[in-house]
């Protein structure tokens, strides 16, 4: 970083951030992959050769065919077909869509709840602080997978239930992070100054304190989205996640599991490869953002 | 110190009480267990008789009262499906789970520390980079997927190891164990590796970070100056210095390994407690679910309580800090 000459014009910080990000080739590729996967997930209905949810279009004659088989639909199943005769590539694209949707939804709600709780605890202090942080710490001592497992078992199947279970299992990480950042920001002069003005305390907390806690929260958010996706897949694999009619990636893997023993590997393996690509890409991007935001690693 | 113990004990009891209410109410809210206990062609009278026998006609708080009272007397009720006391059912499955968990934790600790120390001593060798790559993989790849790949590779393609079950067992003290027979051992290899992988990744990271730090310390510098061979330095000094954080994490992770066993047991059809709970959720066997959750909650509360006490014993600041707050 010593070779950078003082800039003539002020460069937008986001651009600087991106330039530094780009320098790490692996992270840049991972970001590209993440964007690509989100893109194909969003436009899955246009890209996929078949609508995998249209049960009328499925034929059991086409079930469990290996990759490269040309089915009754008249086109080639590049990745083969699943036990219901779905084109596996289409099912994977739609599954990816559900996995990403669930991951982002759970991550965003957990972020909103967790960050609010953490910042409010840090600002108010006293018994509110001890109550909130005690509960959060208690929850962090249980593994997230166990909480999600128990909750989705108690709540039953369905998208809303699943997101609720994931949020309940993960909000504590955001609360801890926001609390840690907010307690150190809280002591700084600009917050004291803002509080000395007639501004409403709520405004100070949400317009000044919260935005300054954003960097660590962004890092946790990327990691937690990846972990929501992984948790969702695990729950679906165990048969506790989404209903069978709209299979996510985890459900596809689970559907193919019984056929693996007889060598029909593709039904489980390809959705799994997609799942791992997604999770690893998000994690690598998150790692790079964390390294860039960490002042201790800056020279 | 006594005050601290009492305070923590009261907190632990309170947490247990709250957990038992949450679990009981939560489990009560799902499904109607009567439907699975009695045949669909039963008469209305038979139905009501079954509801009365199971105590499902009482108000919720009264059911909880009976449940909590029985719980305190060590009675977790009878399974709706198997019609045996739940404690007996779980107790019968427990050895299989414990066997699996202990073997994989041991494997993770021994291998993880060895690989981590190596990666810490020679951070630039290609093998260290491969080890660290493995640990990243262990962190981000979902464990059920690893289990599938293990089965696909070693059971289906190569045919070296069995894909599921416990295999032959030997009965010692009235309890069947798999790891004492060759066949049982071959059955435990894949699930143990699967369950160990996440802990292994963590142990590698911790051991590597600790080793790199200790290798730069004066202890190692002076030991080298004294002419002690490198291997002896590693075994006698480095290993001892990095072991404290490792042991702490090891203890804390014992509980989460038990939780992860649910996934591994399901994949490898390992007849342990985790498989039992997944099957029970599937058929809404309420007493089994409640008992499992209460026992797991109890286990975690006990682990946290112990960790708090041990830390307070080691570090007096925690005691005084809590009293001040």
Complex ipTM > 0.90:
no
Q: Is residue B8 pLDDT above 70, yes or no?
A: yes
* A48 or A276, higher pLDDT: A276
Six token digits for residue A121? 């605890």
Q: Is residue B161 pLDDT above 70, yes or no?
A: yes
Instruction: Kindly state the helix (H) or strand (E) to which residue B74 belongs, with its residue range.
Output: none
* B56 or A136, higher pLDDT: A136
Q: Is residue A109 pLDDT above 90, yes or no?
A: yes
* Cα distance between residue B254 and residue A241, in whole Å: 26
Six token digits for residue B294? 């209460």
Interface of B with A (CB under 8 A): 15, 23, 26-27, 29-31, 139-145, 148-149, 151-152, 155-156, 163, 255-256, 259-260, 262-263, 266-267, 278, 281-282, 289, 293, 296, 300, 303-304, 325
DSSP string, B188-247: HHHHHHHHHHHHHHHHHHHHHHHHHHHHTSHHHHHHHHTT--HHHHIIIIIHHHHHHHHH
Q: Nearest to residue B220, comparing CAs of B233, B208, B235?
A: B233
- pTM to 2 decimals? 0.79
Q: Is residue A113 pLDDT above 90, yes or no?
A: yes
What pLDDT, on a 0 to 100 scale, did the predictor assign at position B301? 81
Q: Is residue A272 pLDDT above 60, yes or no?
A: yes
* 3-class SS letters over B136-150: HHHHHCCHHHHHHHH
Q: What average pLDDT score do residues B14-36 get?
A: 72
pLDDT in tens, A124-141: 878 888 888 888 877 777
Q: Which backbone phi and psi does B176 adopt, to 5 degrees? A: -75, 135
Q: Is residue B137 pLDDT above 90, yes or no?
A: no
Pairing mode, strands B175-177 and B170-172: antiparallel
Six token digits for residue A285? 């991007």
Q: What is the mean pLDDT of chain A?
A: 79
* B201 or B287, higher pLDDT: B201
* Cα distance between residue B2 and residue B304, in whole Å: 17
Q: How confident is the model at residue B325 (pLDDT cuts 50, 70, 90)?
A: very low
pLDDT in tens, A138-160: 777 777 887 888 777 777 777 88
What pLDDT, on a 0 to 100 scale, did the predictor assign at position A65? 67
* Cα distance between residue B296 and residue B288, in whole Å: 12
Q: Which backbone phi and psi does A87 adopt, to 5 degrees? A: -70, 125
* Cα distance between residue B292 and residue B286, in whole Å: 10
Q: Is residue B323 pLDDT above 50, yes or no?
A: no
What pLDDT, on a 0 to 100 scale, did the predictor assign at position A75? 66
DSSP B152: I
Six token digits for residue A122? 């840090």
Give me the domains of chain B, ranges plus CATH numbers.
2-72 (no CATH), 97-271 (1.10.3720)
* Cα distance between residue A246 and residue A159, in whole Å: 10
Q: What is the largest CA-CA distance in chain A?
A: 74
Question: Would you tell me which residues 242-281 of chain A have a C-beta closer than 8 angstroms to some C-beta of chain B?
Answer: 250, 253, 257, 260-261, 263, 265, 268-269, 272, 275-276, 279-280
What pLDDT, on a 0 to 100 scale, did the predictor assign at position A110? 92
Q: Is residue B320 pLDDT above 60, yes or no?
A: no
Q: How confident is the model at residue B322 (pLDDT cuts 50, 70, 90)?
A: very low
* Cα distance between residue B41 and residue A280, in whole Å: 52
* A113 or A161, higher pLDDT: A113
Residues of A in contact with B255 (CB under 8 A): 143
* A224 or B228, higher pLDDT: A224
């Amino acid at each position: 970083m010593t070779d950078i000459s003082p800039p003539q014009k002020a460069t937008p910080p986001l651009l600087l951030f991106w330039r530094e990000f780009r320098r790490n080739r692996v992270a840049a590729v991972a970001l590209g992959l993440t964007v690509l996967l989100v893109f194909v997930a969003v436009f899955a209905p246009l890209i996929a050769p078949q609508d995998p949810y249209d049960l009328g279009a499925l034929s059991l004659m086409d079930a469990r065919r290996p990759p490269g088989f040309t089915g009754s639909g008249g086109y080639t199943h590049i990745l083969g077909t699943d036990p219901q005769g779905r084109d596996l590539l289409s099912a994977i694209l739609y599954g990816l869509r559900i996995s990403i949707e669930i991951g982002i939804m759970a991550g965003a709600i957990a972020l909103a709840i967790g960050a609010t709780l953490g910042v409010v605890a840090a600002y108010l202090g006293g018994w509110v602080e001890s109550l909130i942080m005690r509960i959060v710490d208690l929850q962090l001592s249980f593994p997230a997978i166990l909480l999600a497992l128990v909750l989705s078992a108690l709540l039953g199947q369905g998208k809303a239930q699943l997101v609720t279970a994931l949020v309940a299992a993960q909000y504590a990480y955001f609360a801890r992070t926001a609390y840690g950042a907010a307690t150190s920001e809280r002591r700084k002069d600009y917050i004291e100054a803002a509080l000395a003005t007639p501004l409403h305390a709520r405004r100070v907390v949400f317009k000044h304190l919260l935005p300054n806690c954003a960097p660590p929260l962004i890092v946790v958010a990327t990691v937690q989205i990846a972990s929501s996706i992984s948790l969702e897949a695990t729950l679906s694999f165990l048969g506790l996640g989404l209903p069978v009619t709209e299979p996510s990636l985890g459900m596809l893997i689970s559907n193919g599991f019984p056929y693996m023993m007889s060598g029909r590997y593709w039904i489980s393996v390809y959705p799994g490869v997609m799942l791992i690509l997604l999770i690893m890409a998000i994690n690598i991007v998150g790692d790079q953002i964390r390294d860039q935001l960490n002042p201790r690693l800056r020279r | 110190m006594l005050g601290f113990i009492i305070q923590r004990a009261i907190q632990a009891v309170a947490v247990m009480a709250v957990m038992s209410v949450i679990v009981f109410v939560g489990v009560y809210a799902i499904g109607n267990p009567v439907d699975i206990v009695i045949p669909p062609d039963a008469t209305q009278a038979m139905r009501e008789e079954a509801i009365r026998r199971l105590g499902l006609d009482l108000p919720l708080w009264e059911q909880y009262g009976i449940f909590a009272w029985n719980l305190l007397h060590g009675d977790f009720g009878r399974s709706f499906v198997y019609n045996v006391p739940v404690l007996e059912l779980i107790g019968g499955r427990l050895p299989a789970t414990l066997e699996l968990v202990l073997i994989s934790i041991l494997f993770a600790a021994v291998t993880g520390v060895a690989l981590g120390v190596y990666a810490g001593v020679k951070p630039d060798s290609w093998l260290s980079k491969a080890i660290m790559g493995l640990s990243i993989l262990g962190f981000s790849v979902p464990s059920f997927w690893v289990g599938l790949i293990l089965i696909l590779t070693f059971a289906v393609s190569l045919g070296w190891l069995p894909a599921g079950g416990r295999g032959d067992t030997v009965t010692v003290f009235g309890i069947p164990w798999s790891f004492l027979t060759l066949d049982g051992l071959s059955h435990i290899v894949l699930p143990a590796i699967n369950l160990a992988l996440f802990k292994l990744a963590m142990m590698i990271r911790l051991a590597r970070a600790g080793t790199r730090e200790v290798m730069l310390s004066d202890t190692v510098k002076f030991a080298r100056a004294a002419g002690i061979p490198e291997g002896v330095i590693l075994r006698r000094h480095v290993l001892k210095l990095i072991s404290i954080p490792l042991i702490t994490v090891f203890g804390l992770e014992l509980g989460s390994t038990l939780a992860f066993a649910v996934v591994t047991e399901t994949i490898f059809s390992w007849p342990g407690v985790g498989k039992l709970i997944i099957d029970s959720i599937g058929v809404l066997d309420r007493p089994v679910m409640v008992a499992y959750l209460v026992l797991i909650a109890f286990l975690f509360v006990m682990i946290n309580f112990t960790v708090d006490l041990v830390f307070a014993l080691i570090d007096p600041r925690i005691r005084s800090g809590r009293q001040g707050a």
